[in-house]
């Protein structure tokens, strides 16, 4: 799918054509996104929201136009519900510290799942400790899917926040966001969705999901690093406190007091990553031009194919549910060979995968392993690359005598 748009993919790695299968970590960038960064710096680099000259007006217009593009992309009712952040991690920290912690009382509870990325666990650990709250975990069923019955019992009137990934970055599991949103609404808890692994690979509609907050990272969605998005409901954004104070987020300043702008600008103190925000808008255009349904279908077909091919490798263990219930990634181990050894063999054959704990140490313990190999797919990956992956894994079996 439009592989030629990606300059980086045209190169060799260790004398083999690069097969980039680490898209859950970060994606490659199409020429259109690279051009957007370049054009900003060569044609209209100026600070946003302050200059009165034409250049500054153009930078501001394009920066705000990008916000509107992201709003439309997520089907958010208004562009003012889209905050630019550094990435998913910063977005979740902002909700935890700015929205939940100030209203937390001793004995309150925060609910996450046993499958969360450290970025959707550590901020909650931190504020639970600061606010005297207890962290509770929705357990996983044996196949790695979320135990919704247990969630119903776990979430009650003292639950202040429920934080959950839409798609697990290790198991690939799709979590039932709509059902959790219904529970959250009933119990008056704030539902925060980590959409880092879902937004880039299929249609995501915040209104349909019914979540209160949703975060994703630009660099995992074919955009630049250093830019991410937090969507929030207006009444919550009004209550949420900024974590960064300074220029650009203020309304009126006295020597001892100040009033702030309204959302989203009160959360964007200082000069934002302008080029990155604009280039993220370009990435969104690029994805919508292909179509999120088409990208989803491509990734789904590739994942099903990879699942079959990997299952056919003797001695290989796949973690998580069957392809029908998962996003575009597969974590596995080969015999008892360490994941890093497998990744090195694949590297020598030009195949880039992730090996390690994937920022999910508690989940690794639940799986009873110290690490796994993970292949994750993007819009430019092909069946031929999956075939190469399977062939290289058979080679690894030879090397390590599995």
Partner 1 sequence: MNLSDLYRQVILDHAQHPRNFGALPDGLKVELHNPTCGDEITLFLTLKDGVVEKVSFQGSGCSISMSSASMLTDAIQGRPVEEVLHLNREFRKLLQGQEAEGELLGDLEALSGVTAFPARIKCAVLAWNALEQGVRSQKGEGDADE
Binding residues vs partner 1 (CB under 8 A):
14-15, 337-341, 344-345, 347-348, 355-357, 361, 364, 370-371, 399-401
Look up 359 and say whether it is catalytic.
yes
Let me know: does 348 contact 273? Beta carbons within 8 Å: no
- Residue 240 corresponds to which tokens in the numbers above? 């949420």
Q: How far is the CB of 225 from partner 1 (least distance, A)?
A: 19
Catalytic residue among 196, 359, 364, 389: 359
Q: Which of 345, 363, 361 is nearest to 353 (CA)?
A: 345
Q: Distance between CA atoms of 276 and 219, rounded to whole angstroms?
A: 10
Closer by beta carbon to partner 1, 241 or else 347: 347
- Residue 123 corresponds to which tokens in the numbers above? 């901020």
Q: How far is the CB of 331 from partner 1 (least distance, A)?
A: 14
Q: Which of 370, 361, 367 is nearest to 121 (CA)?
A: 361
Closer by beta carbon to partner 1, 169 or else 371: 371
Closer by beta carbon to partner 1, 220 or else 354: 354
Closer by beta carbon to partner 1, 259 or else 344: 344
Q: How far is the CB of 111 from partner 1 (least distance, A)?
A: 27
Q: How far is the CB of 340 from partner 1 (least distance, A)?
A: 4
Q: Distance between CA atoms of 185 and 285, rounded to whole angstroms?
A: 33
Q: How far is the CB of 396 from partner 1 (least distance, A)?
A: 9
Closer by beta carbon to partner 1, 15 or else 289: 15
Closer by beta carbon to partner 1, 15 or else 254: 15
Q: How far is the CB of 341 from partner 1 (least distance, A)?
A: 5
Q: How far is the CB of 339 from partner 1 (least distance, A)?
A: 8
Closer by beta carbon to partner 1, 230 or else 345: 345
| Gyration radius from the chain CA atoms | 22
Which residues are known to be catalytic?
359
């Amino acid at each position: 799918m439009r592989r030629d748009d990606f300059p980086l993919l045209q190169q060799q790695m260790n004398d083999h054509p690069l097969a980039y299968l680490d898209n859950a970590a970060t994606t490659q960038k199409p020429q259109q996104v690279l051009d957007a960064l370049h054009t900003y710096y060569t044609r209209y680099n100026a600070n946003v929201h302050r200059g009165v000259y034409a250049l500054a007006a153009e930078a501001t217009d394009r920066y705000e136009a990008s916000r509107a593009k992201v709003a439309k992309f997520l089907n958010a009712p208004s562009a003012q519900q889209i905050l630019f952040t550094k990435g998913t991690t910063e977005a979740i920290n902002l909700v935890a510290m700015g929205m939940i912690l100030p209203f937390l009382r001793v004995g309150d509870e925060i609910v996450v799942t046993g499958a969360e990325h450290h970025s959707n666990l550590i901020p909650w650990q931190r504020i639970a400790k600061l606010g005297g709250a207890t962290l509770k975990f929705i357990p996983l069923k044996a196949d790695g899917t979320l135990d919704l019955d247990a969630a119903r019992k776990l979430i009650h009137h003292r639950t202040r926040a429920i934080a959950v990934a839409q798609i697990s970055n290790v198991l690939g599991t799709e979590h039932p966001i709509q059902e959790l949103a219904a529970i959250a609404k009933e119990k008056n808890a704030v539902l925060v969705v980590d959409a880092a692994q879902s937004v880039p690979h299929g249609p995501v509609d915040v209104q349909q999901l019914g979540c209160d907050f949703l975060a994703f990272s630009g660099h995992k969605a074919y955009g630049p690093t250093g830019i991410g998005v937090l969507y929030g409901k207006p009444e919550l954004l009004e209550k949420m406190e900024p974590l960064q104070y300074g220029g650009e987020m203020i309304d009126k300043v006295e020597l001892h007091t100040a009033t702030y702008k309204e959302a989203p600008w009160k959360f964007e103190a200082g000069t934002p990553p302008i080029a990155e925000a604009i280039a993220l808008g370009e990435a969104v255009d690029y994805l919508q031009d292909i179509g999120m349904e088409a990208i989803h279908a491509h990734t789904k077909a590739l994942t099903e194919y990879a699942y079959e091919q990997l299952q056919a490798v003797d001695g290989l263990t796949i973690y998580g549910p069957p392809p029908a219930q998962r996003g575009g990634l597969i974590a596995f181990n080969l015999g008892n060979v360490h994941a890093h050894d497998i990744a090195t063999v694949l590297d020598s054959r030009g195949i880039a995968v992730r090996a390690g704990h994937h920022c999910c140490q508690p989940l690794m313990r639940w799986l009873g392993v110290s690490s796994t190999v993970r292949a994750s797919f993007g819009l430019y990956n092909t069946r031929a690359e999956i075939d190469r992956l399977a062939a290289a894994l058979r080679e690894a079996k030879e090397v390590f005598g599995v």
